[in-house]
């Protein structure tokens, strides 16, 4: 897919400054974009990246236009414009490519495919790997040798799974990330996710776990990672080698987790965080900040009789007022 | 399905007062039932509705029988009687109707159905809509134009999906609600759910998300709503236009959420609540009360080193006793 | 599968004391193992069981070897050795046994199997039971009479489902448990789970719920239990009769829950706990300790305006320091 800047300007309702016939073949970040790609900047935080960007064009609003050094597309709502453009560059799975008969697989020796599987074009499955019943493997998926894909698994377009992996039943690899731009009427416009999911070697993924594809770059699950059931891993998350994640945990977008971490069950990790190597987080905690040092971390309310909790719960919500009443200041108790 | 009141009385072990030959063709709420339908009242809270009800008959216990103005079925455990009756009026999916070959679809132009799909009777799929591999679409489902149903999705009997919707892999639309009546031996008797799921236009539903059908009325997801992965939406929930719900959140039964709300990831919202428009709830919070005003709401324990949390956790459970010791009263710190 | 102790010693890199030609046909706990089985002890907690064990051989490290009364296999990392051995005794589903045509079922009268189902060898399905579309039922599964297995369900090798059960769409029964042994390099080695899942009569399992198989014994869901959507039940959990569990709850490994309990939604229950009969746990609570008495239990932070929570949250993390400052001691407020 190629679009001229003139075509893009029309599509996203932008004022174009620069070469209207310039052809753009993709979207990338300010840092990684080359001269055939377009990028965008949503806040002043990206000023330096904007100045240094090698992108062929950038989408900006009036706050940032003065820092542009290339072709510019001036819009009111940059993220909304970006969301519209993503759909143009998204390579959707063409469901006509999917076939119940799996004759097109570049299969090596001893690949076993159970009944009911639906397989796309240009799929590569390594030696000794088995695909369980009723799986859907979309176009361009690569699965390494000695892996086990259990039944009812969905691996979406272009995702990569390494060697000696186990993907349990019901897991969804490569679902669209949850990203939506809001317009001035409060309506949401989905971002098409152009990245994929990359899974290293010796990884296990639990039953009914979901791993979203990245927005531009990939979501990455590094080698040796063990993930339990019903875990959610959002777009652009990176999980370092040999980290283990127990059931029902959720990791929001763009968070990076270090190596050899142990994340307990039902932990909520908010987005855009960095977690150091060798961190342990106990079950049901909320990780609401970066963790820069190895250690064991926890945060939840211990279980009480409901009759006790009813009294205690009220006081929890008044803690700052109690401190004021008692004239206790944070600086005194650091 | 029609049953006489005599047949119903026998089925639920009730004492009938009124016209034993009267035919009943359905169950409805006290407010909405017409004279061909039966209703029920479980507590004195429903006294006024009982008096005003247009139902052809009502199931009550001895506390409420004096307020009945129509045919009555007197039982010991109203909810248990109701649970038994629901199964009579439930239209189960007849699995003999399901066919691997999808020739019976009332399909318009350019509908694409991938291999492995199983489709029921009387299914309507709008123009330009695609159904991914290995989906199950049960009888009487209606899907609007320009929608994408990804692979391995299940849409159960009678559910409706609007235009320009995206339903991601593994999602289950129209599962039975979780409602059970308890008998005097502590055993549970399931309520058959007679409602359905109604999904508006421009809605997206994430991977492995589940949306239960309503008990009598429908569960409703209004237009423009965006729902992430592994979210649970219980029976009779209503989600207002353009609300966005991040991954792993759970919404318990009969809760009504307003328009343009933003609900973070892994939020737990208890049942029978009302949330106003334009409410933001941060990730991992518990919504344990109505929210009547727009605003940003939060409630969780911040992450600590486990060694700190061990000390702090104990004090949390003693907060009311500390207040007593310090002679602090709630009224002094309001 | 039979292995001599010599073969096992080589496999797990152990020093063998005893009868090298002795044949071993399985793995079991110290208490339950017979003379044809091997067992293992990971800590001094198991000293008495080790002395009393009837196992044909035991895997131990140097701390425990002096308490052994049978053939011993001395290793550095007992759990790692055990993890390696489990894979030898695991009976994997042979996916070549799975067939789209379900002619081999020992079916009784009136069994209905919808299109798209894939069924293994030696599967028993009771009278009047129906299997929905696109289900996968692996080898040796037994399903009782009058049960409903909805579409897209996966029941893995050897699991048992009782009479009058309902298993909702997307549920995964018998997924591998999440158990991994860590080596000295911090890498994980999966434990193959040799147990199964046993589900009693009148049980309902919600949509996209996952129930893991046991490590050696079975995971057990007793009769009358009702489980909602997106619940996770880990290996070796036992849930007592007539207990109800609401959506999104997670129960970690080896926890035993009593009879007639009511567990709210999104509750996190940590592993190796015992919960008494007739316990009620409110939604979103963390159960971080045994519950020995019936009652209602709760633990979460009530919802606040975010502006309030920001102040309160900080004080939560300083509670022990406030207590120190105020010279309040726990013993004074018990």
Which chain B residue lies closest to C282 (C-alpha atoms)? B270
- Contact at CB, B305 and A296, closer than 8 angstroms: yes
- Contact at CB, C188 and A305, closer than 8 angstroms: no
Neighbours of chain A (3+ CB pairs under 8 A): B, C
> So what's the pLDDT on residue A36?
97
Give the pLDDT band (50/70/90) at residue B99.
confident
pLDDT over threshold 50, residue B229? yes
C166 interaction partners in chain B (CB closer than 8 Å):
176, 190
Who contacts C148 (Cβ-Cβ below 8 Å, separation ≥6)? Answer: C129, C130, C132, C165, C166, C167
Greater pLDDT, B331 or C223: C223
- Contact at CB, A306 and C298, closer than 8 angstroms: yes
Report the candidate in B146, B147, B161 with the shortest Cα–Cα distance to residue B218. Answer: B161
Nearest to C286 among A151, A224, A284 (CB): A284
What is the per-residue pLDDT across B40-78, written as a single tens digit (0 to 9) for each? 999 999 999 999 999 999 999 999 999 999 999 999 999
Map residue A143 onto helix, strand or coil.
strand
**Inter-axis angle of helices A78-89 and A5-12, to 10 degrees?**
120
Interface contact B314, partner A, CB < 8 A: yes
Indicate if the alpha-carbon torsion angle B308, B311, B316, B317 is positive or negative: positive
- Contact at CB, A190 and B166, closer than 8 angstroms: yes
Catalytic residue among B87, B235, B272, B306: B235
Give the pLDDT band (50/70/90) at residue C216.
very high
Q: In Å, how far is B149's CA from the nearest CA of chain A?
A: 11
Lay out the sheet containing A166-167: strands in order across: A112-113, A130-131, A148-149, A166-167, A204-205, A226-227, A244-245, A262-263, A279-281, A295-298, B304-305
Interface contact A118, partner C, CB < 8 A: no
pLDDT over threshold 90, residue C295? yes
A309 interaction partners in chain C (CB closer than 8 Å):
297-299
* DSSP letter, residue B45: G
Greater pLDDT, C107 or A295: A295
Give the pLDDT band (50/70/90) at residue B13.
very high
> So what's the pLDDT on residue A95?
78
pLDDT over threshold 90, residue B334? no
Q: In Å, how far is B121's CA from the nearest CA of chain A?
A: 22
> So what's the pLDDT on residue B103?
46
Interface contact C57, partner A, CB < 8 A: no
> So what's the pLDDT on residue A105?
58
Interface contact C170, partner B, CB < 8 A: yes
- Contact at CB, B170 and A210, closer than 8 angstroms: yes
Q: What CATH topology corresponds to B95-297? A: UDP N-Acetylglucosamine Acyltransferase; domain 1 (2.160.10)
Interface contact B138, partner C, CB < 8 A: yes
pLDDT over threshold 80, residue C102? no
Residue that is written with structure tokens 């190597």 in the block: A277
B180 interaction partners in chain C (CB closer than 8 Å):
226, 244
Map residue A3 onto helix, strand or coil.
strand
Q: What CATH topology corresponds to A3-89? A: 3.40.1390
Q: In Å, how far is B85's CA from the nearest CA of chain A?
A: 34
Q: ipTM of the assembly? A: 0.95
**pLDDT, average across residues C144-170:** 97
Torsion angle, alpha carbons of B284, B288, B290, B296, to 10? -30
DSSP string computed for A264-320: -TT-EE-TT-EE-TTEEE-TT-EE-S-B-S-EEEE--PPPEEHHHHHHHHHHHTTHH
Greater pLDDT, B198 or B109: B198
* DSSP letter, residue B176: P
Nearest to B188 among C134, C244, C265 (CB): C244
What is the per-residue pLDDT across C242-273, written as a single tens digit (0 to 9) for each? 999 999 999 999 999 999 999 999 999 999 99
Interface contact A297, partner B, CB < 8 A: yes
The angle at the Cα of A242, spanning C252 to B171, to the nearest 5 degrees, equals 55
Chains B & C: contacts with CB separation below 8 Å: 206
Q: In Å, how far is C293's CA from the nearest CA of chain B?
A: 18
- Contact at CB, C325 and A333, closer than 8 angstroms: yes
- Contact at CB, C187 and A330, closer than 8 angstroms: no
Map residue B287 onto helix, strand or coil.
strand
Nearest to C136 among A133, A260, A328 (CB): A133
**pLDDT, average across residues B159-187:** 97
**pLDDT, average across residues C314-328:** 91
Nearest to A247 among C93, C99, C178 (CB): C178
**Structure-block tokens of residue C198:** 């046993």
Interface contact A30, partner B, CB < 8 A: no
Interface contact A326, partner B, CB < 8 A: yes
Interface contact B42, partner A, CB < 8 A: no
**pLDDT, average across residues A138-164:** 97
Give the pLDDT band (50/70/90) at residue B20.
very high
Please state the domain extents for chain B.
Answer: 3-89, 95-297, 305-334
Predicted structure pTM score? 0.96
**Structure-block tokens of residue C212:** 């893991």
E strand map for B9-121: 15-17, 23-24, 26-27, 37-40, 57-60, 71-74, 106-107, 112-113, 118-119
Tell me the C-alpha distance between A114 and B134, whole Å: 14
Tell me the C-alpha distance between C88 and A284, whole Å: 35
Torsion angle, alpha carbons of A219, A153, C141, B99, to 10? 150
A window 208-267, beta carbon within 8 A of B: 208, 210, 212, 230, 232, 234, 248, 250, 252, 266
Tell me the C-alpha distance between A222 and C188, whole Å: 13
Interface contact B115, partner A, CB < 8 A: yes
**pLDDT, average across residues C103-107:** 52
Tell me the C-alpha distance between A189 and A78, whole Å: 12
**pLDDT, average across residues A297-315:** 96
Nearest to A98 among B114, B310, B322 (CB): B114
Q: How far apart are the first and last CA of chain C?
A: 58
B233 interaction partners in chain C (CB closer than 8 Å):
none
What is the per-residue pLDDT across A83-137, written as a single tens digit (0 to 9) for each? 999 999 998 888 777 877 554 455 567 888 999 999 999 999 999 999 999 999 9
**pLDDT, average across residues B219-236:** 98
pLDDT over threshold 80, residue C105? no
Which chain A residue lies closest to B231 (C-alpha atoms)? A232
Tell me the C-alpha distance between A264 and A247, whole Å: 8
pLDDT over threshold 50, residue B10? yes
Q: A65 phi and psi, to 5 degrees?
A: -65, -30
Asked if residue B67 lies in contact with residue B45, where contact means CB atoms within 8 angstroms, the answer is no
Who contacts A215 (Cβ-Cβ below 8 Å, separation ≥6)? Answer: A86, A177, A179, A191, A193, A194, A195, A235, A236
Tell me the C-alpha distance between C87 and C83, whole Å: 7
Query: Which stretches within B28-151 are classed as H helix?
Result: 47-52, 78-89
pLDDT over threshold 90, residue C109? no
Q: In Å, how far is C107's CA from the nearest CA of chain B?
A: 17
- Contact at CB, A304 and C291, closer than 8 angstroms: no
Catalytic, B272? Answer no
C311 interaction partners in chain A (CB closer than 8 Å):
319-320
- Contact at CB, C229 and B252, closer than 8 angstroms: no
Greater pLDDT, A234 or C115: A234
Nearest to A210 among B230, B310, B320 (CB): B230
C328 interaction partners in chain B (CB closer than 8 Å):
322, 325-326
Residue that is written with structure tokens 């050696």 in the block: C216
> So what's the pLDDT on residue C100?
77
Report the candidate in B95, B139, B94 with the shortest Cα–Cα distance to residue B121. Answer: B139
Which chain A residue lies closest to B321 (C-alpha atoms)? A312
Give the pLDDT band (50/70/90) at residue A333.
confident
Who contacts B157 (Cβ-Cβ below 8 Å, separation ≥6)? Answer: B91, B92, B93, B120, B138, B139, B140, B141, B174, B196
State chain B's mean pLDDT as an integer.
Answer: 94
Tell me the C-alpha distance between A300 and A284, whole Å: 7
A260 interaction partners in chain C (CB closer than 8 Å):
186
Interface contact B1, partner A, CB < 8 A: no
pLDDT over threshold 90, residue C134? yes
**Structure-block tokens of residue A206:** 């639990």
What's CA A41's distance to the chain center, in Å?
19
3-state secondary structure labels for all residues of chain C = CCEEHHHHHHHHCCEEECCCCCEECEECCCCCCCCCEEEECCCHHHHHHHHHCCCCEEEECCCCHHHCCCEEEECCCHHHHHHHHHHHHCCCCCHHHCECCCCCCEECCCCEECCCCEECCCCEECCCCEECCCCEECCCCEECCCCEECCCCEECCCCEECCCCEECCCCEEEECCCCEEECCCCCEEECCCCCCEEECCCCEECCCCEEECCCCCCEEECCCCEECCCCEECCCCEECCCCEECCCCEECCCCEECCCCEECCCCEECCCCEECCCEEECCCCEECCCECCCEEEECCCCCEEHHHHHHHHHHHCCHHHHHHHCCCCHHHHC
Q: Would you mind telling me the total number of residues written for chain C in this entry?
A: 334
- Contact at CB, A230 and C250, closer than 8 angstroms: yes
Phi-psi group of B115: left, alpha or beta (phi > 0 → left; psi -120 to 50 → alpha; rest → beta):
beta
Nearest to B154 among C112, C151, C317 (CB): C151
Q: Which of B114, B288, B296, B310 to mutate to test the interface with C (most CBs of C within 10 A)?
A: B288
Map residue A44 onto helix, strand or coil.
helix
Catalytic residue among C67, C189, C222, C235: C235
**pLDDT, average across residues B264-284:** 98
Phi-psi group of B48: left, alpha or beta (phi > 0 → left; psi -120 to 50 → alpha; rest → beta):
alpha
């Amino acid at each position: 897919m190629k679009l001229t800047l003139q075509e893009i300007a029309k599509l996203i309702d932008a004022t174009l400054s620069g070469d209207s016939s310039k052809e753009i073949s993709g979207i990338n970040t300010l840092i990684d974009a080359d001269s055939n790609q377009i990028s965008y900047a949503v806040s002043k935080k990206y000023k330096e990246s904007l100045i240094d960007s090698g992108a062929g064009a950038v989408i900006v609003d009036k706050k940032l236009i003065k820092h542009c050094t290339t072709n510019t597309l001036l819009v009111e709502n940059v993220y909304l414009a970006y969301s519209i453009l993503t759909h143009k560059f998204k390579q959707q799975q063409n469901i006509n490519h999917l076939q119940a008969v799996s004759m097109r697989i570049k299969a090596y020796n001893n690949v076993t495919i159970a009944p009911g599987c639906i397989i796309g074009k240009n799929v590569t499955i390594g030696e000794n790997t088995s695909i369980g019943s009723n799986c859907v493997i979309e176009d361009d998926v690569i699965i390494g040798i000695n892996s086990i894909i259990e039944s009812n698994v969905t691996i979406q377009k272009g995702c990569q799974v390494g060697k000696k992996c186990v993907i349990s039943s019901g897991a969804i690899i490569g679902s669209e990330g949850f990203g939506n731009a809001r317009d001035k009427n409060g309506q949401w416009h989905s971002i098409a996710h152009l990245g994929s999911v990359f899974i290293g070697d010796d990884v296990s993924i639990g039953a009914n776990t979901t791993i979203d594809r990245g927005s531009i770059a990939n979501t990455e699950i590094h080698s040796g990672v063990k993930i339990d059931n019903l875990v959610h891993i959002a777009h652009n998350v990176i999980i370092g080698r040999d980290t283990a994640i127990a059931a029902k945990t959720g990791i929001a977008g763009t968070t990076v987790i270090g190596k050899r971490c142990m994340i307990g069950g039902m932990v909520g990790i908010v987005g855009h965080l960095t977690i150091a190597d060798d961190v342990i987080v106990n079950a049901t905690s909320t990780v609401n900040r970066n963790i820069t040092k190895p250690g064991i971390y926890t945060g939840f309310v211990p279980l009480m009789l409901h009759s006790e909790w009813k009294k205690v719960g009220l006081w929890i919500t008044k803690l700052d007022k109690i401190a004021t009443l008692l004239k206790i200041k944070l600086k005194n108790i650091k």
